[in-house]
Amino acid sequence: MDYYRYIITADAPSREIILAFLGELPFDTFEETEDGLHAYLRADADAFAIEQQLSDISGKLSFSFKRELVKHQNWNAVWESNFQPIQVEQFCGVRAPFHERLSEVRYEIVINPEMAFGTGHHETTYMMMAQMEALDWEAKAVFDYGCGTGILAILAGMLGAAEIDAVDIEKPAYESTVENARRNGVPHLKAYFGNLSKVPERTYDIILANINRNVILNSLEALYERLNAGGQLLASGVLQVDEAMVTERAAQVGFECRKTMHRGDWCCLLFEKQ
């Protein structure tokens, strides 16, 4: 598959915010550079429509972009070269098979860092895992909404979750979740390809949603209905500037915000169903 590479030039302080906006467009992955970002789009996508949206966003956030065609290559090898391990103190960590073991953590997750890994929002992944340490997972039913490569669902299984469902709208993410669950010894993780409607109708004790603001806002009611009474929703992918908007909307649905965490420009929110 050929790709379009969008070379985005932006000041360092604005890159996280730009990345959050671009994460809602159908780019396959992003790469940080000295001058900004590279965003990769499949060459069979509607580049004209995407560039119209890019122009609108660039007008608000003051960045420039240009497009170039990148012919087919081993994209996973390219992505692997940019993947760095994530470690949450002595609690847990994520690494690739070619990295050295994370000997100081209690839980180690090994994934193939394919393009399905997502946008590289390590701050949000870090916070989700950090907040997971304090929750009770034993014998719980868990749902990972927008699972990426399944990192959070796998960690939930390692922490004692008895039933785990996960879903993603990207087929490579779904396939990676299946592979990584097997690789990390979590055979009871069931992955689904598609949107929320593809997941069997049932309720959960804990829902994980490391995704983005718009999807979270649009899904709050549906996620509320899929939680048991007293169930918890742990959500990230939300910028701090949007925190109040998300918490206010969640309160209208019936959630109570129990805990917040900040890292970089991002926040992670723990809600409880009332």
Judge if pTM exceeds 0.85: no
Mean of all residue pLDDT scores within the chain? 89
Residue 110 tokens read as: 């090994």
Please identify which residue in the block is written with the tokens 């965003």.
39
**What is the radius of gyration, based on Cα positions, of the chain?**
18
The predicted-structure confidence for 34-93, as pLDDT tens digits, reads as follows: 888 888 888 888 888 999 999 999 888 889 999 988 876 655 666 666 677 889 999 999
> Pick the residue with more confidence: 19 or 133?
133
Measured CA to CA, the distance from residue 9 to residue 124 in angstroms comes to 23
In the chain, % of residues over pLDDT 90: 56
Cα 170 to its chain centre, rounded Å, is: 12
Q: Look at residue 116 in the predicted model and tell me its pLDDT.
A: 43
Predicted confidence at residue 121, as pLDDT, reads: 53
How many whole angstroms separate alpha carbon 183 and alpha carbon 177? 10
What pLDDT was estimated at residue 118? 43
pLDDT of residue 267: 94
| Neighbour-count burial for 250-268, b at 16+ CB within 10 Å, e otherwise | beebebebeeebebebbbb
Q: What is the pLDDT of residues 196-232, one digit of tens each?
A: 999 999 999 999 999 888 889 999 999 999 999 999 9
108-143 pLDDT, tens per residue?
999 876 654 443 457 899 999 999 999 999 999 999
Q: Is residue 170 over pLDDT 90?
A: no
- Return the C-alpha torsion angle 173, 200, 153, 274, nearest 10: 130
Convert the chain into a string of H (helix), E (strand) and C (coil): CCEEEEEEECCHHHHHHHHHHHCCCCCCEEEECCCEEEEEEECCCCHHHHHHHHHHHHHHHCCEEEEEEECCCCHHHHHHHHCCCEEECCCEEEECCCCCCCCCCCEEEECCCCHHHCCCCHHHHHHHHHHHCCCCCCCCEEEEECCCCCHHHHHHHHCCCCEEEEEECCHHHHHHHHHHHHHCCCCCEEEEECCHHHCCCCCEEEEEEECCHHHHHHHHHHHHHCEEEEEEEEEEEEEHHHHHHHHHHHHHHCEEEEEEEEECCEEEEEEEEC
Quote the pLDDT of residue 119: 39
What pLDDT score does 105 carry? 95
| pLDDT-derived band at 265, boundaries 50, 70, 90 | confident
Higher pLDDT, 81 or 258: 258
